[in-house]
Structure 1
Amino acid sequence: MSTEIDINLSRYSDWAFTASVLVLVLALLLLAVELASSRGRKVEQRELVGAAAGRASALGAAAGTVTADADRPGVVAAGSAPPLAERTGRAGLALVYLGIGLLLGCIVLRGMATSRAPWGNMYEFINLTSFCGLVAAAVVLRKPQYRALWVFVLLPVLVLLTVSGKWLYTHAAPVMPALQSYWLPIHVSVVSLGSGVFLVAGVASILFLLKTARFAEQGTGGLARVVAKLPDAQTLDRIAYRTTIFGFPVFGFGVIFGAIWAEEAWGRYWGWDPKETVSFIAWVIYAAYLHARSTAGWRDRKAAWINVAGFVAMVFNLFFINLVTVGLHSYAGVN
């Protein structure tokens, strides 16, 4: 493995990281403006249906276009200019995609600068996990009516990237000898993908719990008004379930690949290292969620709480285990 570092490429990687964070912050602001400017889905649907019916009555059967789509709140059909909030949201989503591209550029340039897989320390691992979470969200939230959910996905991602860039940043360098294995890119990339998908699932379950909370049903308070603008509870539950179905086997394979690597490196598949233990616990929690989600009497809020517990275990595993405990995975690379 090459030990030479391309300083210029490393600098470009850092610039791409900074640009990505700034672009995602701006995207969050624009999407938050759209969310704040929109109305509750029930009110919006009633107004759209009423407007469409009134226009059809006034124009008669000769009317050839409809200016509002009652099945897709917030989406204006052809024939009328979208409102300012709609255009603001579209601009925010475009910036999200730009931020994803810049973060990918940061990761690729880091790898080119070090001539290795660019996830050998906590800074690089969090960047990769954040990228996977953003890509997963881009796939799951591709429908226009899901755009409001981006606000709640970007918040934890930006927290991760802020912690990564401010407190966990390390200069481009070769990885320590213990990590110089072909299993590094396999194990870490698969775990990062699973973790990123679980981030989306966790956010969806948290929003589902808020959506079905008593205060949301009563419609009182500022938080209730924000929650009222989100997709319905069944949609949030479905997003959480489907993303967990995908992330569960992916993360499981990541743990298995880590065990195979451990056997090659240390002569045993499993040693109950803190990282191994908490990863296994998180995986079991997600298995319990999938089982509860398909069991009568445990669906909805009970299952969602289990999914949130899995998300909390993943966050605990990411920060506390890597940065505080001492074990075979203590390679955070923090100066």
Structure 2
Amino acid sequence: MPVNETLSQYSDWSYTTSVVVYILAMVFFLVEQSFGRHGRQAAERTRSRELVGAGTGNRNTDPGNRNTDPGNRNTDPGIGNTGSGNGNTGPGNGNTGAAPTRAERFGRMGVALTVLGLLLHASALVLRGLATARVPWGNMYEYVMITCFVAVAAWLVLLRKHPVRHLSMFVLLPNVILMFVGGTWLYAVAAPLQPALQSYWLIIHVAAAAASSGVFLVPGVASIFYLIKARNESHPEKFAKFAAKLPAKDVLDRVAYRTTVFAFPVFTFGVLCGAVWAEAAWGRFWGWDPKETVAFIAWIVYAAYLHSRATAGWRGNRAAVINVIGFAVTVFNLFFVNLVTTGLHSYAGVG
């Protein structure tokens, strides 16, 4: 079926515009990250005074209870996330009832721009699919496009649950870099699928792989920040200014763990579907192709992370290091294996 060049052009324009909007959103988030600290601290102190003044209304006010410190996020089980460590009370999430600060307004505008960028991003995917009359993930350019789309969408979902909005710039930054690389060096003209990819397994296997890879970006960034925060707590002179703006370690740990728990089953499903597709296409379920091997290594790393959390209770630096390693292997598999090595998955390169 011939390619619709007009729709393909509109897709490219939407893709480029979404990158520009993401960059603009990063600027707004940078303003909040740089100048919003004092506003967040003031809001946290205000909320702490309200909790102390509540008296018997808080069941954790017993002096013998270790959670009486207003800075502790568990000061009121009925509210849950009230402390400076977690910070759903700060202007970053706007749950204090106080007037938003100027920095908070920039943060909110950053979220609005991110949503706009995501809509343009989705338009680029849909138009690419309509232009080629197939699913829009048949080459590296399209794969990067959908992976980054999932990463931004996952982050926006997390913003509704956790007080980490002021870290959005650091999540958007790798996405913008990936999208820039995808739109320049990896760009492929819209075209029909290669014969090797003309299978319904492309819809299932590649979609699961791209979705899990996108979500894995979030715990990778959160774990890196966890290690920075931990380093600062053990050596206050290290990362002093930057670490002061980060959420508490337990918030970062929770974000990393919950997103990994969600992404890992999807990734596992994608690996299994790939094995079934390999048997249908090449006559074997597993052949230790470079792509398969590195994907299996990544699966082992993330499985070790979840297993250590569930059985050994690893919630500190060791768990964060494992998660960062898993993220590094995923990125390595995405670029180096696809573009440098030679194997049965070489058709996934710059088509």
TM-score norm. by structure 1 comes to: 0.89
In the aligned structure 2, how far is the partner of 1:79 from the partner of 1:142?
17
Deviation at 1:152, TM superposition (A): 1.5
Q: Is the 8 A contact 2:44 2:90 kept in 1?
A: no
Superposition pairs of residues 182-193 of structure 1, within 5 angstroms:
182-193=200-211
Which range is displaced more, 135-144 or 261-270? 135-144
Q: Is the 8 A contact 2:33 2:167 kept in 1?
A: no
In the aligned structure 2, how far is the partner of 1:245 from the partner of 1:51?
36
- SS of 1:212's partner is helix
Deviation at 1:229, TM superposition (A): 1.6
Deviation at 1:26, TM superposition (A): 0.3
Q: 1:94 to 1:193 in 2, by over 3 A?
A: same
Report Cα offsets for 1:260-285 as digits up to 9, x if no partner: 11111111111110000000010000
In the aligned structure 1, how far is the partner of 2:49 from the partner of 2:313?
41
Deviation at 1:149, TM superposition (A): 2.2
What amino acid sits opposite 1:187 in the alignment?
H
2:110 alignment partner, one of 73, 76, 92: 92
Deviation at 1:333, TM superposition (A): 4.2
What amino acid sits opposite 2:274 in the alignment?
G
Q: 1:262 to 1:36 in 2, by over 3 A?
A: same
1:163 maps to which residue? 181
Q: Is the 8 A contact 1:209 1:301 kept in 2?
A: yes
2:271 maps to which residue? 255
Superposition pairs of residues 52-201 of structure 1, within 5 angstroms:
72-74=89-91, 75-76=93-94, 81-143=99-161, 145-201=163-219
Deviation at 1:55, TM superposition (A): 11
- SS of 1:294's partner is helix
Deviation at 1:10, TM superposition (A): 0.2
In the aligned structure 1, how far is the partner of 2:20 from the partner of 2:203?
28
Superposition pairs of residues 212-223 of structure 1, within 5 angstroms:
212-213=230-231, 215-216=232-233, 218-220=235-237, 223=239
Q: 1:240 to 1:46 in 2, by over 3 A?
A: closer
1:227 alignment partner, one of 231, 243, 254: 243
In structure 1, the gaps of 5 or more residues are 57-68
Which range is displaced more, 46-55 or 135-144? 46-55
- SS of 1:331's partner is helix
1:66 maps to which residue? none
Report Cα offsets for 1:174-231 as digits up to 9, x if no partner: 1111111111111100111111111111111111111111x3555446x432222222
Q: Is the 8 A contact 1:40 1:225 kept in 2?
A: no
RMSD of aligned alpha carbons: 2.4
2:293 alignment partner, one of 277, 287, 300: 277
Q: 1:50 to 1:282 in 2, by over 3 A?
A: closer
1:61 maps to which residue? none
What amino acid sits opposite 1:11 in the alignment?
Q
2:284 maps to which residue? 268
1:290 maps to which residue? 306
In the aligned structure 1, how far is the partner of 2:278 from the partner of 2:203?
14
Report Cα offsets for 1:28-64 as digits up to 9, x if no partner: 11001101002279944664357769999xxxxxxxx
In the aligned structure 1, how far is the partner of 2:301 from the partner of 2:96?
46
Q: Is the 8 A contact 2:139 2:348 kept in 1?
A: yes
2:321 alignment partner, one of 305, 308, 323: 305
Q: 1:77 to 1:263 in 2, by over 3 A?
A: closer
Q: Is the 8 A contact 1:107 1:128 kept in 2?
A: yes
In the aligned structure 2, how far is the partner of 1:206 from the partner of 1:167?
27
The share of aligned pairs that are identical, in percent, is: 54
In the aligned structure 2, how far is the partner of 1:308 from the partner of 1:175?
34
What amino acid sits opposite 2:35 in the alignment?
S
Report Cα offsets for 1:127-159 as digits up to 9, x if no partner: 001111111111122247221121111011111
Q: Is the 8 A contact 1:278 1:313 kept in 2?
A: yes
Deviation at 1:79, TM superposition (A): 6.5
Q: 1:176 to 1:290 in 2, by over 3 A?
A: same
| Matched positions, count | 319
In the aligned structure 2, how far is the partner of 1:108 from the partner of 1:314?
26
1:19 maps to which residue? 17
Q: Is the 8 A contact 2:301 2:322 kept in 1?
A: yes
Q: Is the 8 A contact 1:137 1:200 kept in 2?
A: yes
1:37 maps to which residue? 35
In the aligned structure 1, how far is the partner of 2:97 from the partner of 2:322?
46
Which range is displaced more, 226-235 or 24-33? 226-235
Q: 1:79 to 1:193 in 2, by over 3 A?
A: closer
2:262 maps to which residue? 246
